[in-house]
Structure 1
Amino acid sequence: MEDESDTDEQSRYIVPGLRRGLAALRLFTRDRAVVSVPEISRELKISRATAFRIVYTLEADGYLQRTPHSHAYKLGVNVLSLGFEYLGSQDLLDIARPVLEKLRDDTDASAHMGLRDGTQVVYVLKSASQHRLRSNVSVGTRLALHATSIGQALLLDTPRAELDRLFEGFEMLQYSDQTPATVQQLVDRLDEHRPRGYVAYRSAYAKGIDSVAAPVRDAQGAIVAGINVSDHESLPIMQEQHGRLKDLVMEAAASISMQLGYRPPARR
């Protein structure tokens, strides 16, 4: 039990004005973008004069911005930059590693993360399953962007013109009869995947290996990585590609994306 004298000592160092300012900022939410001084006064149970001084200070330092033709306020750019600077400082691999480990445990299959490098996918993380028959992709492996599940997940947002530039003069090697042989075939394949938001493969790159992949997005919504579960077709979870498996992969991708600062657009 904490000694009462210790609590009194700690309270000496608390700055009430700072605490009130932070409390005022917490009143702003996704569903409540604009807040007025009287609302701050009422909800924080402080006088209007105190609420005004708090708002005036936050506005002067760029943390609040007055809305046009109004005495109400919205968050200023400095609040957003504080969050993005912190999120940007978090290493992608550090964020993704525990998520991939959980994905492996939830599926009892191997999970991977890959990044795009030109026309290749570079595998940067792997959480291997304990099965004798399992994916043999290791960290540092480079595979064809156009032919792999992570590769196609990385390309889901890429415009046709950019795909044409990327693969100009590039030989799109065939790894199975499912591999796109031309940019148009790749575009058609991406058009199939895009409404679902994930890529599902059955023996499309290596015989007997199935996979489901999903993109990872940064704070601006750009695809910065791809993750997948890829393992032997005999594993029970691989029979649920468009069910439980895709749900788990997409949830893992969403978790990493949110930790990077991504917030999906609100549904209308």
Structure 2
Amino acid sequence: MTEQDSSISETEPQLDRQFVTALARGLDILQCFQPNETDLSNHEFVARTGLPKSTVSRLTHTLTHLGFLQQVADSGRYRMGGAVLRLGYTYLAAQEIRHRARPLMQELATLSGVSVALGTREGDEIVYIECCRGNAPVTLHLGVGSTVDLFTSIIGRAWLAAQPRPNLPALLATAPAETADRVEAARAEIAERGYCTSIGQWLPGVNGVAAPILSADGRMLHAINCGGPDTVLSPDFLRDSIGPRLSAIAAQLSALTPQEIVARAIRADM
């Protein structure tokens, strides 16, 4: 596929003959729900998708019939149906890496006192597929299914650092201007240490480390991070203790060490 063809398929799906618009619109409806929302109305679906009211009505009717939505009897609003939950659990069950990662992640969470998360990219976000928490009084309250920004989070930066440079322009098309430089810095840091760091860059007072993970078959890229308040994760504690342990976990879960993953990405640049 040429660069022009790739651009068309990513940015103008209506020009792709294989693209099923009706399916995409149905998925747009399901993606309207935010983590803390239990139900939405057709009016809210219209506002969030930009689709015509008649189209939204047909889509919610169809999704309800298939079990992906459930209509609330007294209000007529819609909530997620059981079919969505089945898909989610099927996806998570297929992530064999979660089961291998959890005891290692919990050990690091206990040592660090804060959160450890495993995630994968979905659009411009990283979705957490496994999370473990330490016992520090203050920690990040993110769980399985939570998302963080691909461009500003340290786990997103580790994922991007493992990408060959020719892939980055398309990935960073909507990213803040400083993201490219931060990805290059993360790449250099991972190549040297096996992990990259964020000292107050994601949120003031929050520090973290992250590393990429390549699935055993070499087809799926994940990333793992450990992050929390700087009162618990000082820069020295991150670099001297947590970072090396996180890198070792990434290497244990991966087909390659973080350094080898980045080296492979660098070779692809040549």
Q: What TM-score results when the alignment is normalised by the length of structure 2?
A: 0.55
Match of 2:185 in 1: 189
2:232 maps to 1:235: yes
Give the unaligned 5+ runs of structure 1: 1-88, 174-180
Q: Does 1:96 align with 2:101?
A: yes
Q: CA deviation at 1:113?
A: 0.9
In the alignment, which of 234, 242, 245 is matched to residue 242 of structure 2? 245
Matched residue, 1:149: 154
User: Deviation of residue 226 (structure 1)?
Assistant: 0.9
1:215, 1:223 within 8 Å by CA — same for their partners in 2? no
Q: CA deviation at 1:167?
A: 2.6
Secondary structure of 1:113 counterpart: strand
* Rounded Cα–Cα distance in structure 1 between residues aligned with 2:226 and 2:158: 12
Q: Deviations over 1:150-193 (max 9, x none)?
A: 1111122212221111232x1x35xxxxxxx2454244333432
- 2-structure distance, mates of 1:141, 1:255: 24
Any unmatched runs of 5+ in structure 2?
A: 1-93, 261-270
**Alpha-carbon offset, residue 230 of structure 1:** 0.5
Aligned residues: 164
CA contact (8 A) 2:152 2:179 kept: no
Q: TM-score, normalised by structure 1?
A: 0.55
> Cα RMSD over matched residues?
2.3
Alignment-derived partner of residue 117 in structure 1: 122
Percent sequence identity is: 23
Kindly indicate whether the alpha-carbon contact (under 8 Å) linking 1:157 and 1:223 is maintained by their aligned counterparts in 2: no
Distance 2:180 2:208 in 1: 23
Partner of 1:199: 196
Q: Tell me which structure has the larger Cα radius of gyration.
A: 1
CA–CA separation in structure 2 for the residues paired with 1:239 and 1:183: 24
1:116: how far off?
0.9
Provide closer, same or farther for how the CA distance between residues 223 and 186 of structure 1 changes in structure 2, counting only shifts above 3 A.
farther
What residue in structure 2 maps to residue 224 of structure 1?
221
| Contact preservation (8 Å) 1:163, 1:183 | no
Corresponding position of 1:254: 251
Look up the equivalent residue of 1:158 and give its one-letter code. Answer: Q
> Which segment drifts farther, 215-224 or 154-163?
215-224
- Checking the alignment, whether the CA contact within 8 Å between 2:199 and 2:207 is kept in structure 1 is yes
1:212 to 186, 203, 209: 209
Cα deviation, residue 237, structure 1? 6.0
Question: How many Å separate the matches in 2 of 1:99 and 1:220?
Answer: 21
Task: Give the whole-Å Cα distance in 2 for the aligned partners of 1:140 and 1:121.
Answer: 10
Deviations 1:19-43 (A, max 9, x none): xxxxxxxxxxxxxxxxxxxxxxxxx
5 Å-filtered alignment, 1:1-268, equals 91-168=96-173, 170=174, 172-173=175-176, 181-182=177-178, 184-196=180-192, 197-221=194-218, 224-235=221-232, 239-257=236-254, 262=255
1:147 alignment partner, SS class: coil
> Structure 1 residues 238, 185: CA separation in 2 closer, same or farther (over 3 Å shift)?
closer
In structure 2, what residue type is equivalent to 1:120? Answer: E
Could you tell me how far apart the structure 1 residues matched to 2:252 and 2:166 are? Answer: 31
Structure 1 segments (4+ residues) deviating >4 Å: 220-223
On the 8 A contact 2:214/2:221 being kept in 1, the answer is yes
Looking at structure 2, the residues matched to 118 and 263 of structure 1 have their Cα atoms a distance apart, in angstroms, of 24
Question: Of Structure 1 and Structure 2, which has the larger fraction of its residues in helix?
Answer: 2
